[in-house]
């Protein structure tokens, strides 16, 4: 399973890098650095419950998932209340 994740990471990196032309090793190195920063600090990963790898690494994954669950529960409660209210108004 871990090997598959690594292969997916390499395929993603390769796909991004093949879209552009690099005219010097420094230009390629800079683009790789940008991509790795994006991948680890901005991109949400489905395999990590849609949390960024940096958040998982620093131990924030459980807190983030719990906050999302709380927000989801509050949203569902509001929807139920609105639905019941609308049904009562229509009768």
**pTM, two decimal places:** 0.66
pLDDT for 1 beyond 70: no
Instruction: Look up the domain containing 27 and give its range.
Output: 2-90
Q: How many domains does the chain have?
A: 1
* Per-residue pLDDT tens digits for 42-75: 999 888 899 999 999 999 999 999 999 999 999 9
- Three-class DSSP labels, the chain: CHHHHHHHHHHHHHHHHCCCCCCCHHHHHHHHHHHHHHHHHCCCEHHHCCECHHHHHCCCHHHHHHHHHHHHHHHHHHHHHHHHHHHHHHC
């Amino acid at each position: 399973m871990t090997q598959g994740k690594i292969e997916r990471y390499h395929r993603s990196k390769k796909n991004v890098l093949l879209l552009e032309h690099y005219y010097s090793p420094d230009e390629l190195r800079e683009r790789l650095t940008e991509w790795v920063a994006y991948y680890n600090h901005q991109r949400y990963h489905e395999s990590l419950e849609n949390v960024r790898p940096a958040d998982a690494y620093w131990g924030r994954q459980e807190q983030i998932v719990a906050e999302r669950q709380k927000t989801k529960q509050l949203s569902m409660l509001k929807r139920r209340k609105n639905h019941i209210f609308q049904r009562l108004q229509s009768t």
